[in-house]
Every structure is written in structure tokens, then in C-alpha cells.
Structure 1
Amino acid sequence: MSLAPPRPALVAPRALKGVALVAGATLLFAVADVLGKYLMTRHPVPVVQAGRYLVNTLLLLAAFYPRHGKLLWRTGRPAMVTGRAVFLAASSLTMGFALQRMPVGETVAVIYLAPFLVMVLAGPLLGETVSPAAWVGAGMAFLGVLLVVRPGTGLDPVGVVFALTNAALSTGYHLMTRVLIRSESTMAMLFHVALTGFAIFAVLALPALSGFAPSLTDLLLIGALGLLATVGHFLFTAAYREAPASLLAPVNYLHLVWATLLGWGVFAHMPDAISLCGMALVVVAGGAVALRASRTG
């Protein structure tokens, strides 16, 4: 077996494909954030999330079971696959509570400490090489987040705690995705996420079901939330087949752009000038690191 590194001409297209997949996923996630905020300010978080994960599970069954059968849920590492799904379910719960209390853009800015943590941990835990430029970019992005959550912004402290918890849970989810993608199929990981999430939220939602009286519109929106999550996580998981975590992590910061614009358009909330500067710093730093990494292969 040759130990010579692959030529950049062969690596760069796959890296760029991974970047494009994550960019598309973050757009869908931002739309889901706005839709989720609308729904979860009207209904209990576990109920909305249970509906989302139920739709997620049914869509995956309809799309993959007729062709793949039991391969849809077959996995060689069931404990880790289930653990990854639990991390995402917990992340969804904390995200819902954060969105109840905070604007969409600022919430997303806080949770995007996760890519910074992934970049820091990708080296010692996954054996991936993180360039000095990537460290600089991650530091700039972290500074941008600090500008968003600085004292005096009026953000709900409880909401900030939920968002920070989400960042920690998302870090674990991202790192496990990178490990599992080497041995598990995308559809199996998606199915376990959906089924585990539905099981957890179905139990959590039971106490609130007696007072749950959604309109037909809200039920359709919950279905749309499940569809957005399904497609978004499919793109996100597939991206890790094309590029390393240290490259894809900064691209996640595009979520900030979509979330801020959509939050402004739907809820008429625009962050103040300093917060916008912080968000811009996060996006520019992350985008520059991703572009440089894709060019160097």
C-alpha cells in the first residue's frame, strides 16, 4: 500500500462537496429553528419534538425500508449508535428551551461554540490534523460568540445556559458521527436517531398531551419540521463521508447567516450592531478556514 498523500486535485472536489452538503444542511436547520420557535412558543417542547421525530421515523421507513429492509436499522455498533441518537435528542430538547427564551440568531450564535469544540477535540480524539490557520479561525469564531453573549444584550440567562448545554451535546454528536461514519450506513444512523428521539420525546410528552389542542395548520407545520430535520441530517451525515470534521466544523457557522436573516424576516428581530459584528466574525473566520482547507486538500 502506498503511503504517499493523495494529490490535491483528487481530494479538493470531495472536500468541496462536503462543504456544499453542510451548507445546504445548515440552511434547512435554520428554517427548522424558525419553525420550531414558532411552534414551541405555542406548544410544549416535548410534544412538538415528539411529532417531529415521529414524522422523521415514518419518512425514513417509507423511503428506505421497501428497498433495504432490515438494513435500515442494522448496525455493528448499537451502543454507540444509540448513544449518538440520545445526544441529539438531548440537544433537540435544550435547543427547544433556548428558542423559547431567546431570538433565533443569538441562540444559534451561542450553540455554534460546538464547531469550535469539535475542532479542538478532533486532533486528540480522532487523530485529525488541525492546521495553525484553523486554530486562529476557531479562536476568532469564539471571540465572535463572546461578543454576542456579552453583558448588556438582554439575553435570558436561562436561555443562554440551555444554548451552552446544547453546544456541549452537539459536540459529542459531531464527534461520534465522524467515528461511526467509517463503519455504519447513513440511513441506519438516521433511523436510530429518529426512532430513539421519538421514543424519548413520546415519554416526555405524555404529561402535556391532555392539554394539547393544535390546529390543523400547526399539525402540518410539525410535519414540515420533521421533513426539514430528515433532509438536513441526511445531508449533514453524508458530508462526513467527503471531508474530515476539522474541515466541516467551521462551515457550520453558515447557520448563523441563515438564522439571523430568517429571524429578522419572520420575527422582526435584528441583533444590535455589536452582536452583528460578532456574528460576522464567526462567519468570516469559519468560512476562511474551510476555504483554505479545501484548497490545500
Structure 2
Amino acid sequence: MSANNVRAGILLMIGAVFVFAVQDGVSRLLADKYNVYLIVMIRYWFFAAFVVAMAARSAGGLRRAATTTQPVLQTFRGLLLIAEVCVTVYAFVVLGLIPTHAIFAAYPLMIAALSGPILGEAVGPRRWAAIGAGFIGILVILRPGFAVFAPEALIAVAAAFLFAVYGLATRFAARRDSAETSFFWTGVTGAVAITVIGLWFWEPLAREDWLWMFLLCLTGAGGHFLLIKSYEQAEASALQPFAYFQLVFVSIIAITFFGESIETNVAIGAVIVVGAGLFTAWRERQLNRRSTGASALR
């Protein structure tokens, strides 16, 4: 893979996380006025339409994208993600964008920690050390035992954990299904699940808020499109470090539009968590290179 492809992949990844940061800001704006289920439901309707359109245009069409030998696992993935999205949007409201994303940045470390017992992947002492450092970073953010500790922060921890389990389920599904199939099932099963719940919480939106809702849907589809294109250009291990730019973009949006501030403990904890995540991504890339090199010598 050429350096030009890697450079293009990095730019696309940064573009994707910027769009996702805007999506999170709009989600926070709407969630201040409307219930979370309604917002996520309408967003998922648009997302499901985008997924179906992408599948229809791919080789083999909808039938190939929908074909799977593990429908229970794929449905479980879709339900996990829709739960994570609802919990995350709720955390934006009760906790704020900056601390939520600072805590959420720990999900790659959770994936690394759980990949051993769940997927049977080897996790060496260096990565365990990084996972431990990331856990310390989370404790710095939460400040347990202090009067200022906000129990709402545990909502963000739950969101990160749900996304980590979703990531593991996606890795497991990838052993037998293509990325297109997993993407299709994620959008469709999520849309069905949230509709069953969300219709009970329907409330009319003000005319001007439909514009924000349209922007929310547009950023959701646009962000995923850029993400897909970035992975077409470069390996995930090369792009993962740049996903942390979302925390930077979200912080700018939160400070500018929602009057949030960066608390000292949150800043320190975020640096520790992101640093541990970057080390884990680098270590995984090194191990993948060694494995590829060893395979080539056989």
C-alpha cells in the first residue's frame, strides 16, 4: 500500500471524525429539547436507508449483503449499537460532550482487555500495562471518592463498554461475514429495534428543528461514508490513532456552542487514556507486521 493511499486514508479519517463530532453536537442540541428515543429513531431511519442504498449498489445487491450464516450474532450487534447510541446521547445531556468523549476514548482499551477471554487473542504484558494506564486515566476523570464525583459519568463508562462489546462482536462476525453484510445488518436491525421503542415516545418537532434533524441524519450518513472510504485507502491500525481527533473537534464544539469547559482532571485523564490507546494501536500494528512478515517467509 502506497504512502499516498495512507495519506488519503488519514485525511478521510480526520474528515469522518470531524463530521461525527458535528453529529454529536447536533445530537446534544436536539436532546436538550426532545427525548433520546425520538432523535435516535429518526436518525436510524435515514441511516438504514443509506445502508440499503449502499448495499443495493454493491456487487450482488441486497441479497448478497443480507445473506449471513449467523443472524443471531448480527442481530445482537445491531441491538448493542442502538443501545450504545441511546446511552451516549443521554450522556451528552446529563454529563456534557467533553467528559463523555474523554471517557468514551477508553473503548479501544476495553476491546483489547476483552479480546483475550472472549476472542482468544493474545494480549501481551505491554498491552496489559497500557490497559492499566488507561484505567488509571478513567479514574482521574471520574475522581471517585471526591465530593465532586458525578455518578452520571458512569453512563459514559457504560456507553464505552457497550461499544467495546459491539467491536468484539463485529470482529467475531468478520470471521464469516463480509464488512458489507455486517454494515447492512447494523443499520437494518438497529432501525427496526429503535422504531419498536421510539414510536411510543413520538412528539412533534418544531419546524426549525427539522432542519437540525436533517443535518443530524446527513452527518450520520456522511461520516460513515467517509469512514468506509478511509478504510478502503489504508489499514485500520494505521488510521485508528487519528480517530482521537474527534475528541479535539468535540471539545471545540462543546466550548464554543454549549459553554462547556475542560476541567483539569478531565484533561489529564484524557491525555492518559488517549496515550494508552495510541500505544495499544501502535503495538497491534507492530504485531500485525511481524505476523505478516513471518507468514511471508513460510
For the aligned pair, the TM-score class normalised by the smaller chain equals: 0.7 to 0.9
After TM superposition, give the deviation of residue 271 of structure 1 in Å: 1.7
Matched, 1:206 2:172: no
Closer, same or farther: CA 276–153 of 1 in aligned 2, 3 Å: farther
Q: Given the alignment, which residue of 269, 281, 293 partners 1:290?
A: 281
After TM superposition, give the deviation of residue 252 of structure 1 in Å: 5.2
Q: Given the alignment, which residue of 189, 204, 214 partners 1:223?
A: 214
Secondary structure, counterpart of 1:75 in structure 2: coil
After TM superposition, give the deviation of residue 228 of structure 1 in Å: 2.9
1:51 corresponds to = 42
Inter-partner Cα distance in structure 2 for 1:12 and 1:102: 40
Q: Give 5+ residue unaligned stretches, structure 2.
A: 290-298
Alpha carbons 2:142, 2:150 under 8 Å: kept: no
Inter-partner Cα distance in structure 2 for 1:237 and 1:179: 22
Matched, 1:192 2:182: no
After TM superposition, give the deviation of residue 87 of structure 1 in Å: 0.4
Matched, 1:175 2:173: no
Cα shift readout 1:52-100 (whole Å, capped 9, x = no counterpart):
0000011222333145232232222111111100000111111122112
- The alignment's TM-score, normalised by the length of structure 2, stands at 0.80
1:3 corresponds to = none
Secondary structure, counterpart of 1:206 in structure 2: helix
1:280 corresponds to = 271
Alpha carbons 2:109, 2:277 under 8 Å: kept: no
1:82 corresponds to = 75
Closer, same or farther: CA 61–41 of 1 in aligned 2, 3 Å: same
Q: Give 5+ residue unaligned stretches, structure 1.
A: 1-9
Q: Which amino acid aligns with 1:190?
A: F
Q: Which amino acid aligns with 1:117?
A: M
Alpha carbons 1:34, 1:259 under 8 Å: kept: yes
Inter-partner Cα distance in structure 1 for 2:92 and 2:253: 14
Inter-partner Cα distance in structure 1 for 2:8 and 2:183: 20
1:98 corresponds to = 91
1:149 corresponds to = 142
Closer, same or farther: CA 265–294 of 1 in aligned 2, 3 Å: farther
- The alignment's TM-score, normalised by the length of structure 1, stands at 0.80
| Higher mean C-alpha deviation, range 167-176 or range 60-69 | 60-69
Q: Which amino acid aligns with 1:96?
A: V
Q: Given the alignment, which residue of 11, 14, 26 partners 1:35?
A: 26
Cα shift readout 1:177-231 (whole Å, capped 9, x = no counterpart):
112223222232222222222222222222332xx22234422322332333334
Among all aligned residue pairs of Structure 1 and Structure 2, give the percentage whose two residues are the same amino acid: 27
